[in-house]
Amino acid sequence: MAVSKNEKVDIIKKFGANEKDTGSVRVQVALLTERIKLLTNHLKQNDKDHTARRSLLVLVGQRKSLLSYLEKQDRDAYLALIQELGLRK
């Protein structure tokens, strides 16, 4: 259920300013989105895994707070990010 190291590096390169930019909001949201997708697929197969369901809710809450922060700070970057990640269609 974890994001592999290679996938993480690819996400950081795509959304970060450089290879070591792991703390920016864009990178954090992209990594959380990937983890949410993996957990969602896991829960489709294992519907009684309540621990994973709670973890999913925690991750969604973290992503929501980061997105609201980004929206307040830089609306254009927020709109570009949700468009690129395919969120809020």
DSSP state, residue 4: P
Q: Which residue has the tokens 């294992």?
A: 46
Q: What is the pLDDT of residues 14-58, one digit of tens each?
A: 999 898 899 999 999 999 999 999 999 999 999 999 999 999 999
Buried/exposed 77-89: b ≥16 CB within 10 Å, e otherwise: ebeebbeebeeee
| Cα-only R_g, the chain | 14
More confident residue, 31 or 3: 31
Amino acid type, 65: S
Which residue's entry shows tokens 């991750």? 59
